[in-house]
Each structure stands twice: as C-alpha cells, then as structure tokens.
Amino acid sequence: MDFPQPLDGAITPRFAGPVTFMRLPQIEDATQVDIGLLGVPFDLGTTNRSGPRHGPREIRNVSSIIRRAHPVTRVEPCRLARVADVGDTPTNPADLMQSLRMIEDRVAEIRATGAWTLALGGDHLISLPILRGIHRARPDLGPIGMVHFDAHSDTNDTYFGGARFTHGTPFRRAIEEGLLDPARIVQIGIRGSLFDATDMHWARDQGVRIITIEEFQDLGIDATMAEARRVVGDRPCYLTFDVDCLDPAFAPGTGTPEIGGLMPREAQRMIRALRGLPIIGADVVEVAPPFDVGNATALIAATMMFEILCLMAEARVTEP
C-alpha cells in the first residue's frame, strides 16, 4: 500500500518538516486523492472579531503533533484512503461575494473528481460555498443532512440592515437553496444570549433539531448522539464543527465565544459516536488565531480534524 503517509514524529521531529496537515504531502491534483484536506482562508462573514483567515495556517502548524493512529478505534486513516493536503482555495480579502464563488469553484472542482473534502476554515460562512460546490458536483444527492456542533444556530436572516451573507446566516441560505434538508439537521451545543426571544423560531419551524447545551447536560453524551443519529438518518450527510461549541477556556481563539460550552473530551466522544455514518464532507471552522492563546484552539481544531478524518476514511472505504 503506497498511500501518502504523514511524517512520523518518532523519526522526523515534530518541529521539523513541511507545514501541511499532519505533514502529509501537498497534492493539488484531486484525482490522486480520496480525501482532500482543504484550507479555506476566509473571514469576511465575521460580524465582530475577525481572524479565521489565518486559521488554516495555524491548524496546519500545530497538526504535526498528531500521530497516525486513532487511540480508541485504532483506525489509521491514511492507510484506508488516499489522504492529502490539497492546499488553500483562492479567496479575495477585499470581496466577499467573489470569495464565495472562488471557494465554491475549487470545491466543485475537487468533488468533480470524486474526492471528498475536509475543510480547515475560515469562518462559518464557508460552509455555504462548500455545500454549493458539493451540490454542483453531485446534484443527484439532493438536500443532504448535517450534524452541526456550534454555540449558535447560524440561521439568522440578515445583519446590519440587509446583509444576507455573514457567519450568522449560512444555514438559512443553505436551506433556502435546497442544499440541506432541514429535517435532517441536528445542532448541538447551542447557547448564549439571544438577539431577541424569537431567535431560532425559523430554524425550528423548518424542522431543524436544536439540542441546546442545557438539553445536552440533561441528556448526556449517549442520548444526545442517539438523537443526532436519529435525525440525520443513514443517508449522506455533512459534518460541521464550529470550535465555539466548546467552552472558551478550551477554545479561546474564536470570534464569538459563549461561556458554558462543551468540553473537548465530550466533543471527541460525540464525534466518535457518529462512526459508521456516511459523512461525505466536513469542515472545522471559526479558529481565529489572533485571539488564540498558545495555539490551544488550533490544537483542538487539528485534533478534531483527525477525529473526523478517521470517520470519513472509514466511510470512504464502505462507500457503495
């Protein structure tokens, strides 16, 4: 088996070698890849504290600390599939709308080869052009399901007197555009003060299943994830992990921290509970290095990337 392999930290010290995800080879030609780790350095959707444009670099930087095998499942994802770092999408830091098109185009290009993408964000608005790109390459899939870890529902309508494309609105747009099936969306970890008491009414009216942090605390990990699996079912789905689902003590490097969030060990177990789902695309978003502390948030993001990569590699193998 000669799939691309990450450098081994017991041979090449972790502080040396290339700054790609897990020090995997960088391969821009998606035809040689099953799962492409794709940087999306974009944060023009951010309404307050920007910074996720720097996320892909810093997540890659710390990812040399990840070793090749999963500690619980013992899965070695780079032995199951051809995994590589496919570099960054183009973006234009001076033009939000053009950037959305650039991201969509690159995703569509990759997905057209049959490769899947696991994106390193970027703010949460990037999920929209990624979903558009998937849909463009695979319209046959129709609206797909989604497991969504976040403090915020991100289904607001507009900001600042009419802005329809911000990191608070991607999933409203995605539902409106038929990219996602709201009845197969589950949102986990939602919390924080509200713009007004009717926030999230629209999402609930569409059928989105919102599991607040309070409900999670009452249910526990197992029941929460059983509910999540019930919602998304067993057809292809997307996984989006906003690091602000975590408590800001763990993930301070993010733009809209809300106290009282998940612990990483809870999040790890929740992601592992998705094993076996046909997760055909995913992203980890809202890592804002200028607000990070000692790269803690980037380290969590890199580890969660690896957790998700393990799921996707297994799903890829069992794909019909």
- In whole angstroms, the minimum distance from the beta carbon of 45 to a second copy comes to 7
How far is residue 32's CA from residue 86's CA, in Å, rounded to a whole number? 10
Q: Is 189 in the site for a second copy (CB under 8 A)?
A: no
8 binding a second copy? (CB under 8 A): yes
CB atoms within 10 A of CB 293: 11
By CB under 8 A, is residue 36 in contact with a second copy? no
For the window 76-115, what string marks contact with a second copy as x by the rule CB under 8 A?
x----------xx-xxxxxxx-------------------
One of 3, 105, 112, 192 touching a second copy (CB under 8 A): 192
Which residue among 34, 36, 70, 155 contacts a second copy (CB under 8 A)? 70
Q: Of 195-214, which residues contact a second copy (CB under 8 A)? A: 195-197, 199, 212-214
Please say whether the beta carbons of 275 and 233 come within 8 A.
no
Residue 154 annotated in ligand binding: yes
As a whole number of angstroms, the distance between CA 135 and CA 198 comes to: 31
Question: Which H or E run contains 169?
Answer: none
The contact pattern for a second copy, residues 274-293, with x = CB under 8 A and - = no contact, is ----------------xx-x
List beta partners, residue 34: none
Nearer to a second copy, 74 or 318 (CB): 74
The conformation of residue 26, written as its DSSP 8-state character, comes to B
Say whether 14 sits in a helix, a strand or coil: coil
Coil/strand/helix, residue 75: coil
* Positions in 129-158 near a second copy (CB under 8 A): 156
Q: Calculate the dihedral angle through the C-alpha atoms of 66, 68, 71, 73, rounding to the nearest 10 degrees.
A: 140
Q: How far is the CB of 93 from a second copy (least distance, A)?
A: 5
CB 84 within 8 A of CB 25: yes
**Distance in Å, CB of 144 to a second copy, minimum:** 27
Distance (Å, whole) CA 26 – CA 37: 9
Please check if 54 is assigned to a binding site.
no
Check the annotation: does 150 bind a ligand: yes
Q: How many of the chain's residues bind a second copy (CB under 8 A)?
A: 95
Q: Is 172 helix (H, G, I), strand (E, B) or coil?
A: helix
Binds a second copy by CB under 8 A, chosen from 149, 171, 238, 306: 306
Give the three-state DSSP class for 95.
Answer: coil
| Residues annotated within a binding site | 124, 150, 152, 154, 242, 244
| Residues annotated within a binding site for Mn(2+) | 124, 150, 152, 154, 242, 244
